[in-house]
Amino acid sequence: MKKIKLLAFAFVAFLFAGIMSVSAIHIDELYDGSNLKAEKQDDGSYLLTLTGDAALDLIIQNGEVATLDLNGHTLTNYLQPTPADPKHPAPCEAIKVENGATLTIIDSSNGKGVVTQVKESSYSVITNLGTLNIKAGTFKTDLDFYVIRNEANMTIFGGNFISTSNKTSLVGNIQYEDKNVTPRLTVSGGNFEANQNALKNYENSIVNITGGEFTSKDAFALDNSGYASVTGGELTSVNNSAIRFQIDSTKDNESSLKINGATLNSKEGISDLTIYDNALDEDVTNDYNVNLDDQGNVVIEEKQEDVTTGVVTTTTQAVEENPNTADNVGLYVILALVGLGVVGITTKSLIKHH
């Protein structure tokens, strides 16, 4: 695995298995063969520019601030030969932002730049543990891993995000490595296309959607188990509800969902909002009444026993199996809010049919 470590003075590449040894070089020097140019800016940050297609494990470390210009080229993750088993390289992300680091991704080629991964990968294309801002570029995978796994602070202003996986969400906003850090994801633009969830927001995680286009073929544009606010953008599910709100009827005051001003598009005959109770392990959409409160949130109240409910016809979402980066429900207990103001409503109707 090649690691471009943005240290205060130098970055170092390691190639294991006794093949070769590379000494450290200064960060403002061209890394031979990396197709990555590093320029130190007046404010102490670094501008990294791809000068050609590259296979790297780009790691931004604590205290480092950098801007990566894809410059119309493709960045793919690198496989690291290991002394113990050189025939089976260890995978890594294409980009990892560590705690205390900041990375902004741009593309001066007007969106022709790509960040993706090789077929042997077993991690997300990008993992963020620090601060990550994405303004342009295409980010994609054909594997069963997130394109982006956010565990800290992330803002998406634009770009194209694509996953063809039938098991794993496109973007995962998840508290995992550090339980003291609340993942926060803000999306103001961009195009998100997935077979499964376009965006999965886990328990103890916060997402704010003010813009962008989210499309899921078989699952949900937004699958929320934490705290979500949707005040803009367009959320579409071709074969399901636009949004799923996961609750736990045994717990209170631990998650919320607000939808106010967004456009929701769902499969004809299916409500825009599906409510799923993890305690019961079933869809309970028709077991609840949905009402607006004074702030525009929606209060869900369980219906009385004498209220006849029908069967909700929704497409069952495939179980996601990805021990490192996927939406493995068995690994994460999903918190929810029942009977309180937890959902906002679109400017159209909260539950409509198309």
Could you report the per-residue pLDDT of 95-136, keeping only the tens digit for each? 999 999 999 999 999 879 999 999 888 889 999 999 999 999
Query: Taking 50 as the threshold, does the pLDDT of residue 336 lie above it?
Result: no
Strand partners, 256: 227
pTM: 0.80
Query: Taking 60 as the threshold, does the pLDDT of residue 192 lie above it?
Result: yes
Closest CA to 6 of 45, 50, 33, 56: 45
| Cβ-Cβ contacts under 8 Å for 330 (sequence gap 6 or more) | none
Is beta strand 222-224 parallel, antiparallel or unpaired with respect to 199-201? parallel
* Per-residue model confidence (pLDDT) at position 348: 36
* Per-residue model confidence (pLDDT) at position 105: 98
**In the chain, % of residues over pLDDT 90:** 56
* Per-residue model confidence (pLDDT) at position 306: 55
Report residue 24's pLDDT band, with 50, 70 and 90 as the boundaries: very low
Tokens of 241: 């509800």
Range with the poorest average pLDDT among 121-135, 217-231, 319-333: 319-333
**Rounded to an integer, what distance in angstroms lies between the CA atom of residue 196 and that of residue 216?**
6
Neighbours of 210 (CB within 10 A): 15
CB distance 99 to 128 below 8 Å:
no
Could you report the per-residue pLDDT of 264-297, keeping only the tens digit for each? 999 999 999 999 998 899 999 988 887 767 766 7
Mean pLDDT score across all residues of the chain: 80
Report residue 86's pLDDT band, with 50, 70 and 90 as the boundaries: low
